[in-house]
């Protein structure tokens, strides 16, 4: 861990704390993101009501989605003006409170329609805090990190997403098996949310006790309106270039995870009972691939990595997706794993890349808004993908979207320069 610090003259413990905070904080953040999607699934009909439980769960997810860009804009600006550590602690406190409150919501048989809207409201507010956490904590970790290690740290931070997915899936599976489906649907679903709240509370204590802002963010000049500076000011070109690149990555995510999962459940040679195991294996492999991708970008350059990856994915991603839907047994596990490798593993360098694209005065605003605003249209795929599938066919439409995502990744990378990955962040 000592080799990750930015400068040998600063306190090793302060640097280590910030780096660990970036890694573990993103794990907690991602756990909270996946909670309603995974933990509520076995209990949705009881918790939310029997009518269109899947659609109601989707509404809860969309509420989180809409909150994240707003949180990135609010907390990113606060982090740039008032400090990243202070902003991170406020965001994590909000995550802990909203997640705990969700665990206390009465089920549909008690609350009726109010149950759904309580979930929606709390997930929207929680989404605001989620967007704030990574907008402050990840740039903070990058500012404390030695330049030669930023790619590796970035890969580790991004790998927290699939690991959090696997953690929640595993916890939910164990609880359902131990408690039984009825008990889990009745009250056991609250336990993953309580666990998420406790993890957030632990991270809050961690940041309050031992994480400080990096010297670069406390000694450099600060802008009074960092959000304006990235949207319409001198850093607007960086923001919209990042927006294009990240839109491609978010399209990868939606097609390779929720869309592929849903289509596998309906595939007769796979079936719904084996899909969780397949996705668990593929997700764990993708975490290792993200870590490797971040490290590779440190050697060959972030821009070059994205261009080469996108060019390869232009062919590999659509073909791997089609292969996954026609395979069974061990071949299906392998095919789905390949889909993850040739799509979402491209996230590996993102933490370092976004931090390097913006100077300290607007780094959190640029990181948070660029990362979050670009996910809105891809995550609304339930509204536009069916139309595309009716025109091109169910599989061909997804293959076309994957090809478009690859092209956006290449275009976004080409529009930007190669960041200086060998120098300290400025």
- State both tokens at 409: 């990744």
Taking residues 199-228, what's their average pLDDT?
A: 84
Rounded to whole angstroms, how far apart are CA atoms 393 and 323? 16
What angle in degrees, to the nearest 10, is found between the helix axes of 150-179 and 12-38? 40
Task: Categorize the per-residue pLDDT at 210 as very low, low, confident or very high, splitting at 50, 70 and 90.
Answer: confident
Percent of the chain with pLDDT over 70: 93
Summarised one tens digit per residue, pLDDT across range 363-422 is 999 999 999 999 989 988 888 999 999 999 999 999 999 999 999 999 999 999 999 888
124 or 41, greater pLDDT: 124
Summarised one tens digit per residue, pLDDT across range 79-96 is 999 999 999 999 999 999
Residue 5 main-chain phi, psi, to 5 deg: -75, 160
Q: What is the pTM of this model?
A: 0.89
Summarised one tens digit per residue, pLDDT across range 273-284 is 677 788 889 999
The answer to whether 345 and 289 are in contact (CB under 8 A) is yes
Give the list of residues 6+ apart from residue 355 with CB closer than 8 angstroms, or none.
Answer: 138, 139, 142, 143, 150, 363, 367, 425
Average pLDDT taken over every residue of the chain: 89
pLDDT exceeds cutoff 80 at 217: no
- Can you name the residues that pair with 5 across neighbouring β-strands? 145
- State both tokens at 352: 């370092």
Give the list of residues 6+ apart from residue 40 with CB closer than 8 angstroms, or none.
Answer: 47, 48, 57, 60, 189
Domains, the chain, ordered by start: 2-415 (1.20.1250.20)
Burial letters for 260-281: b for 16+ Cβ neighbours within 10 Å, e otherwise?
Answer: bbebbeebeebeeebbbebbbb
Closest C-alpha among 121, 135, 144, 136 to residue 62:
121
Task: Categorize the per-residue pLDDT at 50 as very low, low, confident or very high, splitting at 50, 70 and 90.
Answer: confident
In this structure, the number of other CB atoms found within 10 A of the CB of residue 106 comes to 12
> Which 3 state secondary structure label does DSSP give 145?
strand
């Amino acid at each position: 861990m000592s080799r990750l610090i930015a400068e040998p003259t600063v306190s090793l413990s302060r640097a280590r704390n910030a780096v660990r905070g970036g890694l573990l904080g993103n794990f907690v953040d991602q756990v909270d993101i996946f909670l309603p999607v995974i933990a509520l699934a076995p209990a949705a009909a009881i918790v939310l009501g029997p009518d269109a439980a899947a659609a109601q769960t989707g509404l809860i997810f969309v509420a989180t989605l809409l909150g994240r860009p707003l949180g990135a804009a609010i907390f990113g600006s606060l982090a740039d003006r008032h400090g990243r550590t202070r902003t991170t602690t406020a965001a994590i406190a909000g995550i802990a409170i909203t997640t705990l409150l969700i665990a206390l919501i009465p089920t549909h048989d008690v609350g009726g329609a109010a149950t759904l809207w309580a979930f929606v409201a709390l997930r929207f507010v929680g989404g605001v805090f989620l967007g704030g956490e990574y907008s402050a904590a990840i740039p903070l970790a990058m500012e404390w990190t030695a330049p030669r290690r930023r790619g590796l740290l970035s890969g580790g931070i991004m790998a927290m997403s699939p690991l959090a997915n696997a953690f929640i899936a595993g916890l939910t599976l164990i609880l359902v098996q131990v408690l039984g489906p009825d008990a889990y649907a009745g009250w056991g679903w609250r336990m993953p949310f309580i666990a998420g709240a406790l993890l957030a509370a632990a991270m809050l204590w961690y940041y309050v006790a031992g994480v400080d802002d990096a010297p670069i963010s406390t000694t450099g000049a600060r802008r009074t309106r960092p959000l304006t500076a990235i949207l319409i000011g001198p850093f607007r070109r960086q923001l919209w270039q990042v927006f294009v690149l990240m839109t491609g990555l978010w399209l990868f995510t939606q097609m390779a995870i929720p869309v592929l999962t849903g289509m596998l459940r309906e595939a007769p040679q796979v079936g719904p009972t084996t899909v969780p195991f397949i996705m668990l294996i593929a997700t764990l492999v993708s975490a290792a691939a993200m870590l490797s991708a971040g490290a590779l970008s440190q050697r060959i350059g972030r821009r070059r990595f994205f261009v080469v990856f996108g060019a390869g994915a232009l062919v590999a991603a659509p073909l791997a997706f089609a292969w996954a839907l026609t395979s069974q047994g061990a071949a299906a596990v392998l095919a789905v794993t390949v889909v993850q490798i040739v799509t979402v593993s491209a996230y590996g360098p993102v933490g370092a890349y976004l931090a390097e694209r913006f100077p300290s005065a607007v780094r959190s605003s640029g990181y948070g808004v660029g990362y979050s605003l670009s996910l809105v249209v891809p995550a609304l795929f339930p509204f536009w993908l069916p139309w595309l599938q009716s025109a091109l066919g169910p599989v061909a439409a997804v293959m076309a979207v994957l090809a478009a995502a690859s092209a956006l990744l290449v275009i976004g990378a080409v529009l930007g320069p190669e960041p200086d990955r060998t120098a300290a962040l400025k």
